[in-house]
Amino acid sequence: MANTAAANLGGTVRSGGITKEERKVIFASSLGTVFEWYDFYLYGSLAAIIGKQFFLGDPTTSFIFALLTFAAGFLVRPFGALVFGRLGDLIGRKYTFLVTILIMGGSTFIVGLLPGYATIGIAAPILLVSLRVLQGLALGGEYGGAATYVAEHAPHGKRGLFTSYIQTTATLGLFLSLIVILTTRTSLGEPEFAAWGWRIPFLVSVLLLGISVWIRLSMNESPAFAKMKAEGKTSKAPLKESFLQAKNAKIVFLALIGLTMGQAVVWYTGQFYALFFLTQTLKIEPATANILIAIALALATPFFVIFGSLSDKIGRKVIIMAGCVIAALTYFPIFGALTHYGNPALEAAQANSPVVVVADPATCHFQFNLTGTKKFPSSCDIATKMLTDASVSYKIQAAPAGSVAEVHVGEKVIPSFNATMNAAGLDFDADSKTKETALKKSVGEGVKAAGYPAKADPAAINKPMLVLLLFILVIYVTMVYGPIAAMLVEMFPTRIRYTSMSLPYHIGNGWFGGLLPTISFSLVAMKGDIYYGLWYPIIIALITAVIGTLFIKETKDNDIYAHD
């Protein structure tokens, strides 16, 4: 790939500020993408409520299943990248934009109208997952087009700055969704919002769709693509050239492992896992948690542009790698501090009254349940499930084979029981259900007496410190995400850029990032440690830091208008 210290569309370096036409390009691309991310993030923010509306099962299972449906939209993003990336390289960036925004907006609006499980049964989760898949396909085609379109309008030396505005759209989209959710929730009250008010933010998206389509229709085609198409130099087979030619396929692979994989887990830890941790683990009221996240996002969002602009001067790679390493090294103390300032009673209970499950290790299983109906009848599984539902950390101590599990809370010992299944084999029999109810009461009383709170005490929450900690987490996001669009654009030639950059971006963010909440919470449920899920983003971020540092070259001086 050609390098030059002075590459621009006309072959010269242009100095000075952003022109009126360039501002229009950035605004049109960014605003349309803000709306797309707003649509996509609504589900993530409302996962707990949606889980109760569309899935059966206990709170932990339905929440994990809801997170999986959230992840389903991310899982299909690479396929959207292939479909729409190919179209973008064949027919142009502008019309691909229109298609993706229509699919995204339409799918989101229908979610707001979709009946729940109580009304249409199993069809409800099936339709919900289908709509999430459509959203994921559309988003898979959106980002690469927006980043490519803006970068191909940017003068040399300012691509990091220009594309950093695209990078703010994900955070601004989440911010907008939180504002709409908070306004609706506050206006209606929690009972009404949980019953039906959660649909309003989805329905509002039809207004955003209309604005986005109007904006996209006013855009012109990318000058780099238009010039290349006029010269007859567009790719005839973008997929083949991108992924079946060894030279480009190697760059695609390195872009995934050495850039987007780590960027994704840092991003989703700072913006999604942090929110889930506040609400599900620390039991902070959702409205309060949303406000805290919104404030942190508002304060940190300018740093996307700051780090994007800085990458034009010192390079993209050093900033992204530093973000991955610093995040990995500080996640445990930061999340520990979130507990300290968000729910000090929980922290004190964990320190003063540790909970131990004494059980035969062979009877303790990984209780991930996709169907929402499977029961785990062993005494260990019953006990650990109750503790996980209560966000109580615990350790498992080995007992002799065949032993009935016991829950030790301080000096109190609560014996569990082995349940018996009913004739259908789908649930506990009547006697076991009675025992389960009694055990749940005993465990609840035990952990309450030991100081474990059912909810975070609003008066004990140190909100300024929580905002500061959340702000730091989002700063990490801006470090890895601010420069990434410019770097990906610069790694690939114009004729296959849309296709080539979209796939590693969406595998990294769709798979490694999108699955982060589900994987992390499943690890917590398996281990009994509320911080254990952090090992997933830490390990992934460190792998990216090593591979990226060793094998990826700096790109800020690459000529993005080269055709080969």
Domains of the chain with bracketed CATH: 20-343+458-551 (1.20.1250.20), 351-449 (3.40.30)
Tens of pLDDT, residues 37-48 = 787 678 767 877
First to last CA, the chain: 7
Q: For residues 385-423, b (16+ Cβ closer than 10 Å) or e, as one string? A: bbbbbbbbbbebeebeeeebbbbbbbebebebbbbeeee
DSSP secondary-structure letter at 482? T
Mean local confidence (pLDDT), 482-496: 89
Q: Which of the four pLDDT bands, split at 50, 70 and 90, describes residue 413?
A: very high
More confident residue, 192 or 66: 192
Q: Which of the four pLDDT bands, split at 50, 70 and 90, describes residue 67?
A: low
pLDDT of residue 116: 85
Cα–Cα distances in angstroms (integers) from residue 287 to residues 52, 104, 187, 545, in the given order: 18, 26, 12, 36
- Residues contacting residue 332 through CB under 8 Å, at least 6 positions apart: 531, 534, 538
Cβ contact 199:184 at 8 Å:
no
Taking 90 as the threshold, does the pLDDT of residue 340 lie above it? yes
Q: How far is CA 209 from the centre of its chain?
A: 22
Q: How far is CA 503 from the centre of its chain?
A: 17
Q: Which of the four pLDDT bands, split at 50, 70 and 90, describes residue 557?
A: confident
Mean local confidence (pLDDT), 153-169: 86
CA–CA–CA angle 68, 456, 526 (5° rounding): 40
Q: How far is CA 414 from the centre of its chain?
A: 38
> If you average pLDDT over each of 65-79, 213-227, 423-437, which comes out highest?
423-437
- Tell me the whole-structure pTM to 2 decimals: 0.82
* Burial class, 167, CB count within 10 angstroms (exposed 0-12 / middle 13-18 / buried 19+): buried
**CA 336 – CA 396 distance, rounded (Å):** 21
Least confident of 12-21, 423-432, 460-469: 12-21
- Residues contacting residue 330 through CB under 8 Å, at least 6 positions apart: 472
**Backbone φ and ψ of 558, nearest 5°:** -70, 145
**CA 523 – CA 418 distance, rounded (Å):** 24
pLDDT of residue 31: 72
Cβ contact 74:143 at 8 Å:
no
Could you tell me the strand order of the sheet in which 412-415 lies? Answer: 394-398, 355-359, 406-409, 412-415
Within 10 A of 2 (CB to CB), how many other CB atoms are there? 12
Tokens of 245: 């030619």
Least confident of 331-345, 464-478, 484-498: 484-498
